[in-house]
Amino acid sequence: MKYSHHIEFKVRDYECDMQGVVNNGVYQNYLEHARHEFLQTRGINFAEVTESGINLVVIRAELDYKNSLKSNDTFVVRSLVRQISRVRFEFQQDVYKLPQEKLMLAARITGTSLNANGRPFVPDMLTQLFITD
C-alpha cells in the first residue's frame, strides 16, 4: 500500500494492562497522534484549527486487532487519507511492529469537519490533505 505518512512510537508501560499488553483503547491514542502529526506535515495544526472554531471530528472507527503490542516494543503507524465525499475523509492507518514490520492493527478512521454550529464544513486548508504525494 502506498502510505503518505509514518511515525514511530515505543510502547510505554502505563499503556499496558493486567494482561501485560497494550490496552485496546490505547491504539486510538496512537492513531490520533499519528493523524495529527500527518496533518501538521500538510500545514494543518490541530490546536489552531480547534481554536479557530472548526472541529475535526471522528465519526467512525473500525479497528482490526491482529496481534498485541507489549512492553518495550517499538512500532510504526503508517497512514494514508482519501476524500470519500464532499465533507468526509477516511484515514487508513496500520500499525506495524518493528523491526520485522509485523502487522499489529489495521484501522479505518472516518472524519469530518464541523463549524462552530456543528454543521459539516470543509475549510479550504483541508484540501491540502488530499494532495497526492
Catalytic residues: 17
**Interacting span for a copy of itself (CB under 8 A) from 9-17, 79-87, 89-97, 120-128:** 9-17
Residue 121 interacts with a copy of itself (CB under 8 A)? no
**Interacting span for a copy of itself (CB under 8 A) from 17-25, 84-92, 95-103, 120-128:** 17-25
- d(CA 65, CA 114) in angstroms, rounded, equals 29
Helix (H) or strand (E) run with residue 39 in it: helix 26-41
**Total residues in contact with a copy of itself, by rule CB under 8 A:** 37
> Residue 25 or 99: which CB sits closer to a copy of itself?
25
- d(CA 47, CA 84) in angstroms, rounded, equals 24
Pair type for strands 55-65 and 5-10:
unpaired
